[in-house]
Amino acid sequence: MVVGRKWVYVKPFDGLPKDENFRLEEEVFSDELKENEFLTEAEFLSVDPYMRPYMSSYPVGTSMIGGQVAKVTASRHPNFPVGAYVFGNFGWRTHCLVDPRKLPAESQPYVLPSFGRHPRSLALGVLGMPGNTAYFGFLELCQPKEGETVVVSGAAGAVGSIVGQIAKLKGCTVVGVAGTDEKCAWLRELGFDATINYRAVGESGFAEALKKAAPKGVDCYFDNVGGYISVAVLLQMNLYGRISVCGTISNYNEARAQVADPQREFVFKQLRQEGFIVTRWHKRWMEGIEANLRWIEEGKLTYQETVTKGFERMPEAFVSMLTGGNTGKAVVKV
């Protein structure tokens, strides 16, 4: 018998998540596995922005959702042998009994490929879902061309920091928008050409700061945040500009965002805007991981992680990430 722990969503979110929204519970697993089942023990867990809006659509009593890196501790599945490390969407739990046949195609667990000297936790960041979000969401939807100007919001986070670096690899001029001077300094170290600390300039100063940072206008916008930052970028888009709408973290804690009327910009500048969910590319998943790993090995792509130690601190790590406490990918080490 194995006793695990899990975090349960026990009260609907109202604004920023609070301790009262979560409860830590135990769960018991039998050692007797059925054919095709395997048992895992988590090593690293991810805290991601999507958990805030997605959990609101689940009933209370549901376990918190999320990805993790885990070790297989018992197995009756030929592809998941004991000792293997896997990525799986197993939720906020220390242990999990998995039968892959019960999971949808876009949420299949997989044995981690070798990351060489890099930590396994990267399977939750640059070598996992956020890295693939940057790789596919930027390259496929923005279709960047050499010499173009790219703006990335949420630029010092898990997705944004990778998007900006890929944009530099493609020969673009890159402007990063982030919430502190330290984050902006890191982005410039990564090669970003200009940065805007949106908290320092404020809503009223953002459009002017953007004009200075992107004097030739904006050809591609990778949008992680929505809100006034995105309205200002839209108004400075160039003819035939492309906008990849990745996320709207600025309003995840609100019930409903206002829908403005941007149509005139779209008509006269002939813009293209497309939202996406990264699992759209689940059939090409390993292509993104391999490309990002190659760039890391070649010294062309740098990552940073903000690691919180202790499974009991999952809610704290989650709220910290939602409020800007992370640089690069936010993960929890059990």
Ligand X SMILES: NC(=O)C1=CN([C@@H]2O[C@H](COP(=O)(O)OP(=O)(O)OC[C@H]3O[C@@H](n4cnc5c(N)ncnc54)[C@H](OP(=O)(O)O)[C@@H]3O)[C@@H](O)[C@H]2O)C=CC1
The residue ranges that bind ligand X (CB under 6 A) are 48-50, 130, 133, 154, 156-160, 178-180, 183, 224-225, 246-250, 276-278, 321, 324, 326, 330
Burial class (CB in 10 A: 0-12, 13-18, 19+), 184: buried
Tell me: does residue 128 bind ligand C/C=C/C(C)=O (CB under 6 A). Answer: no
Answer with the entry of ligand X, ligand C/C=C/C(C)=O, none that 178 interacts with (C-beta below 5 to 8 A by kind).
ligand X
Among 24, 60, 277, 286, binds ligand C/C=C/C(C)=O (CB under 6 A): 277
Among 150, 237, 278, 321, binds ligand C/C=C/C(C)=O (CB under 6 A): 278
- Do the beta carbons of residue 152 and residue 230 sit within 8 Å? no
Give the containing element (helix H, strand E) for 166. helix 160-169
Residue nearest to ligand X (CB): 157
Tell me: does residue 131 bind ligand C/C=C/C(C)=O (CB under 6 A). Answer: no
3-class DSSP state of 257 = coil
316: how many CB neighbours lie within 10 A of its CB?
Answer: 16
Minimal distance, residue 334 CB to ligand C/C=C/C(C)=O, in Å = 22
Q: What is the dihedral of CA 94, 98, 100, 103, to 10 degrees?
A: -70
Q: Tokens at residue 36, please?
A: 């095709």
Give the containing element (helix H, strand E) for 264. helix 263-268
- Considering only residues 293 to 312 of the shown chain, the ones binding ligand C/C=C/C(C)=O according to CB under 6 A are none
Closer to ligand C/C=C/C(C)=O at the Cβ: 4 or 88? 88
Tell me: does residue 29 bind ligand C/C=C/C(C)=O (CB under 6 A). Answer: no
Answer with the entry of ligand C/C=C/C(C)=O, ligand X, none that 158 interacts with (C-beta below 5 to 8 A by kind).
ligand X
Minimal distance, residue 180 CB to ligand X, in Å = 6
Answer with the entry of ligand X, ligand C/C=C/C(C)=O, none that 160 interacts with (C-beta below 5 to 8 A by kind).
ligand X
Burial class (CB in 10 A: 0-12, 13-18, 19+), 32: exposed
Among 247, 288, 315, 328, binds ligand C/C=C/C(C)=O (CB under 6 A): 247
| Distance in angstroms (rounded) separating the CA atoms of residues 204 and 134 | 29
Tell me: does residue 163 bind ligand C/C=C/C(C)=O (CB under 6 A). Answer: no
- Do the beta carbons of residue 130 and residue 67 sit within 8 Å? no
Tell me: does residue 276 bind ligand C/C=C/C(C)=O (CB under 6 A). Answer: no
| Distance in angstroms (rounded) separating the CA atoms of residues 43 and 161 | 24
Tell me: does residue 49 bind ligand C/C=C/C(C)=O (CB under 6 A). Answer: yes
Who contacts 137 (Cβ-Cβ below 8 Å, separation ≥6)? 159, 163, 222, 244, 246, 276, 278
Who contacts 8 (Cβ-Cβ below 8 Å, separation ≥6)? 22, 23, 24, 25, 61, 62, 63, 64
| Distance in angstroms (rounded) separating the CA atoms of residues 278 and 107 | 11
Tell me: does residue 88 bind ligand C/C=C/C(C)=O (CB under 6 A). Answer: no
Minimal distance, residue 157 CB to ligand X, in Å = 2
Binding site for ligand C/C=C/C(C)=O (CB under 6 A): 49-50, 247, 277-278
